Chains A and B, each alone.
Chain A
């Protein structure tokens, strides 16, 4: 029999435990943070509930704790709610650890890449925004940035040809190469200048200009850099992010019809000093 006098105490003791249970990931629905915007080839997902990775389609909902993996000739682009994007190339693995977005106020992302090439592009501006991508050898802190990286044997292969790295040996499972893509000081528009801090073993390397790179050759090693990635190194990294994907269309339709014209519109709108901007009188378009 429950005595009236002890009830408030028991409720007081139980309430925090019940609240904790209600808020724990196991008890609540997954926190959906984005979608698989591009799925080409063999792209799979697993998580605490789906222990055996399953193939996913385009528009698959993605949540905290989801592990995404690609096989050969495959590619995935994740679109997050703030319109940031995370792309992985073939034979890659990425986990969305956490993503919190309060429109206009706050955005934070943590993700882990354990293998393969990846690209992060910031989305909408927030007053407080942070993003970090980790691998087994180090962490990248990101601010308002387009950034590419690669983990594993492809990182070693690219690093091997970089004169600055002078033949430093890397671990084919864990080496990580990171390169800032922009925005740089000579950017257009009101984008923030990009910045990335690559940290490992107590040292941080700052990447604050496009094409500056850092390399962590193995676990326990400090990042090397910053150095300017060569054109061939950048080309190889871009190829890793745009593999010859399975099931991709051949296109050519537009090329046959109005190639120069369509591109002309784009270039025209982007040309500095062009007053064509005012021809786009759609909602959200530039003010004239």
Chain B
């Protein structure tokens, strides 16, 4: 049920997940693009999602840190940041981040998904 819910969202928001900058930056202008994309909260989050989808979790975390530096109240960026920490097995770091968020601000299905990935957050 919750997977169907997520799949529906994927389809609806696929446009958000379009590549927003170079996939493999190795030049300074490409790094510029990676820096600029995080200035916009929505684009920054979408870019981090692309990185996560490619398994580039460390880089996704770095992108979300850039977003959070400029948009510290972005619950969306913080939750994704926490999820990516859990994906690299930093369960405590993910739990600490999730502890800064309010469950009531998120859909129950989504929160349940997050706790599946970050079980320690349920205990903290």
CB <8 Å contact, B72 and A146: no
Residues on A with beta carbons closer than 8 Å to the beta carbon of B32: 35, 59
Determine if A276 and B7 form an interchain contact, defined as CB atoms under 8 angstroms apart: yes
Q: How far does the Cβ of B67 sit from chain A's closest Cβ, in whole Å?
A: 9
With A34-B31, A262-B45, A276-B7 as contacts: A270 and B52 at CB distance below 8 Å: yes
Known: A121-B59, A262-B45, A274-B6. A234 touches B92 (CB 8 A): yes
- In the bound assembly, the distance between CA atoms of A183 and B79 in angstroms comes to 18
B52-88: which have CB < 8 Å to A? Answer: 52-55, 57-59, 61-62, 65-66, 68-76, 79-80, 83-85, 87-88
Size bin of chain B's contact surface: 35 or more
Q: Check if A284 sits within 8 Å of B54, measured CB to CB.
A: yes
Chain A 99-125 residues near chain B, CB threshold 8 A:
103, 119, 121-124
Report how far A205 CA is from B80 CA in the complex, Å.
Answer: 32
Binary CB contact string for chain A from 69 to 86 against chain B (1 if under 8 A, 0 otherwise): 000000101010111010
B122: interface (CB < 8 Å): no
* Contact present for A38 and B69 (CB under 8 Å): yes
Candidates A79, A258, A259; contact of B31 at CB < 8 Å: A79
- State the Cβ distance, B102 to closest chain A Cβ, in Å: 11
Contacts of B6 in A (CB 8 A): 264-265, 267-268, 271, 274, 276
**Contacts A79-B34, A210-B90, A266-B83: A283 and B72 contacting too (C-beta < 8 A)?**
no
Q: How far is A83 from B51 in the complex, measured between Cα atoms in Å?
A: 12
Per the 8 Å Cβ criterion, residues 69-124 of B in contact with A are: 69-76, 79-80, 83-85, 87-93, 95-97, 99, 105-107, 109-110, 113-114, 116-117, 124
Q: Which residue of B lies closest to A252 (CB)?
A: B73
Q: Which residues of chain A are within 8 angstroms of B27 by Cβ–Cβ distance? A: 81
For A250, the closest partner residue in chain B by CB is B73
Q: Which of A235-286 contact B (CB under 8 A)?
A: 235, 238, 241-242, 244-245, 248-255, 258-271, 274, 276-277, 279-280, 282-286
Task: Describe B's contact surface by its main secondary structure.
Answer: helix
Q: Are B66 and A263 in contact (CB under 8 A)?
A: no
Taking a contact as CB atoms closer than 8 A, the residue among B16, B50, B69, B116 that contacts A271 in the complex is B116
CB atoms of A277 and B53 under 8 A apart? yes
Contact of A251 among B38, B62, B71 (CB under 8 A): B71
Q: What CA separation (Å) do A260 and B6 show in the bound complex?
A: 10
B1 at the interface (CB under 8 A from A): no
Provide the bound-state CA to CA distance between A34 and B31, in Å: 8
User: Mind listing 23 A-B residue pairs with CB under 8 Å?
Assistant: A38-B69, A77-B62, A79-B31, A87-B62, A146-B88, A185-B89, A189-B55, A189-B87, A231-B124, A235-B99, A238-B96, A251-B41, A252-B74, A259-B76, A259-B105, A260-B9, A262-B46, A265-B17, A266-B45, A267-B114, A279-B10, A279-B11, A282-B17
Closest 5 CB pairs of A and B: A184-B89, A268-B6, A189-B55, A251-B71, A182-B88
Instruction: Give the interface of A toward B (CB within 8 A).
Output: 32, 34-38, 40, 58-59, 61, 75, 77, 79, 81-83, 85, 87, 103, 119, 121-124, 146, 181-191, 194, 210-211, 229, 231, 234-235, 238, 241-242, 244-245, 248-255, 258-271, 274, 276-277, 279-280, 282-286
Interface, chain B (partner A; CB < 8 A) = 3, 5-7, 9-14, 16-19, 23-28, 31-32, 34-36, 38-39, 41-42, 45-46, 48-50, 52-55, 57-59, 61-62, 65-66, 68-76, 79-80, 83-85, 87-93, 95-97, 99, 105-107, 109-110, 113-114, 116-117, 124
Beyond A79-B34, A254-B76, A282-B18, 20 additional contacts (C-beta under 8 Å) are A58-B35, A59-B36, A81-B25, A81-B27, A83-B25, A146-B88, A181-B93, A194-B88, A211-B90, A251-B72, A252-B73, A253-B42, A254-B45, A259-B75, A266-B49, A267-B114, A268-B3, A279-B7, A280-B50, A285-B50
